Structure 1
Amino acid sequence: MVVDTIVYHPTLKKLIKYLDTTAGREKSFRLVQYLVRFLAFHAATRGSSELAKLFKALQGHAAFIRKGLRFLKPLNHVQDAAKAFDNKLSDSIIRSTVVLKNLAYVGYLSLDSIAWFKLAGLVSNKTFPKAPKYANWFWFVGLVAGLVNDLRKISVTSSKLQSLDEKDSEKSKAIELENYKATKRLVWDSFDFFIVLNNLKFLNYDEGAVGLAGTITSIFGVQDTWNNTKI
């Protein structure tokens, strides 16, 4: 009975379903990648060089696996960009920023795949030496579009809430949820923007700060994917 209770517990069933998806595994490895990056920095500052090396090795392995899991993911963003472009009823700013964000992510993830080929030994390290830099520039553009999108959604939902009748509680709750999601996404994109600014050398924070920012956004990613997992 105890075994059955554990095996058939809804949380375990959801965890299995979550890990059975490419998105679930990719988000989990991203969390590992940034968490050990954060831990490696603090281990090094405390003189634990062996532990720092272990965390660095784990970071490299997690990054390699993640890049493999994201192979051909640009196709998802091409489709999302096309759907947003065809949605003529959407707010013009929201629509255009969604299209721009997804097209930027097509460039970012396509160039990031080159790094995976290099790590796998399929492409020489001397090939496309500036690919990581251009990938970060595409990520930068995508995040700028995302931040504008987030701010526009917050503005639109806030205006809707102000114009609503107090009696319309159901509609009010739905719009409040949209506002909450847009605000959360704004925080999420802001932390990722902090990371890319460091990657492009506009900021020069240490590995610990970048690792912490990545850990926070990775938790957001895991949380969203978990909430979208149906059993």
Structure 2
Amino acid sequence: MVLDTVIYHPTLTKFISLLNKTAGREKILRLLQYLVRFLAVQYSSGLNRQLQSEFTIVRKILRFFKPLNHIQDAAKLYDNKIAPDHWVRWLSVIKNVGYIGYLSLDQVNLLRILKLVPSTPITAKKVPRYTNWFWFAALVAGLITDFRNLYTSQRKIEASLTLEGNAPTEKASSEKLNAFYNQRFAAFRRLVWDSVDTFIVLNNLQFLRNDESSVALAGVATSVFGLQDLWKAT
């Protein structure tokens, strides 16, 4: 009975469902990659660095066709002429284009690591740098979107608070206000997420020169954010 309780526990069932998704496995590997990266700095272990390299390769393989998702998302956003906020629509298009470039060039990095593409000054140095530039462009578009969403949700909250509702509509107004508060929290959370990822990419591009452990912990934090969203969606 105890074994059945564990095996059929809803949390375990949800975890198995998460593992069955490619995105779930990739996010878990990202978390492990940055954790191992942090441990490699703390303990200077060759095994830790080897594990980090293995996790990186597997993640790149799992994301091989992911640019197709962003191509489709960008096309849908571009075609959505009746979007409620055209600023957010165009920023989201730019964000997806950035991720298309980032993930596509990252596959060149994978092929180089697997020695299917020769290691040259272009493939070994320029392509990784352009990869990070595309990621940075996507994050900048995301950050502007986050600020825009924060602004619009705050305006909605202020407008709702100034409205004088009568008794029959009081409950509906309260529910709508709570929805606006949730939108503001989601926008702020996403802003923190994108800001931490920007910290990582700025270190990759060497505009910032923080120590490896700080970058690794930043990667752990954003990996947890990603896993939280996938867990809720599972």
TM-score by length of 1: 0.93
Task: Work out the CA distance in 1 between the residues paired with 2:129 and 2:29.
Answer: 22
State the AA in 1 paired with 2:135.
W
Q: CA deviation at 1:150?
A: 0.3
Structure 2 residue aligned with 1:82: 75
Structure 1 residue aligned with 2:13: 13
Match of 1:181 among 186, 197, 207: 186
Q: Would you say 1:58 and 2:51 are equivalent positions?
A: yes
Task: Work out the CA distance in 2 between the residues paired with 1:63 and 1:128.
Answer: 17
Gaps of 5+ in 2: none
| Percent of residue pairs identical | 51
Q: Would you say 1:108 and 2:138 are equivalent positions?
A: no
SS of the equivalent of 2:123 reads coil
Q: Which structure has the larger Rg over C-alpha atoms? A: 2
Q: CA deviation at 1:43?
A: 1.5
Q: CA deviation at 1:137?
A: 0.4
Q: CA deviation at 1:84?
A: 1.6
Gaps of 5+ in 1: 45-51
Q: Give the conservation status (yes or no) of the 8 Å contact 2:193–2:222.
A: yes
Q: CA deviation at 1:53?
A: 1.4
Task: Work out the CA distance in 2 between the residues paired with 1:85 and 1:154.
Answer: 23
Q: CA deviation at 1:174?
A: 1.5
Q: CA RMSD in A?
A: 1.2
Task: Work out the CA distance in 1 between the residues paired with 2:108 and 2:137.
Answer: 19
- Deviation by residue 1:183-203 (Cα, 9 ceiling, x = unmatched): 100000000000110111101
Structure 2 residue aligned with 1:145: 141
- Deviation by residue 1:2-43 (Cα, 9 ceiling, x = unmatched): 121111110010000000000000000000111111111121
TM-score by length of 2: 0.92
Aligned length: 222
Structure 2 residue aligned with 1:128: 123
Task: Work out the CA distance in 2 between the residues paired with 1:128 and 1:63.
Answer: 17
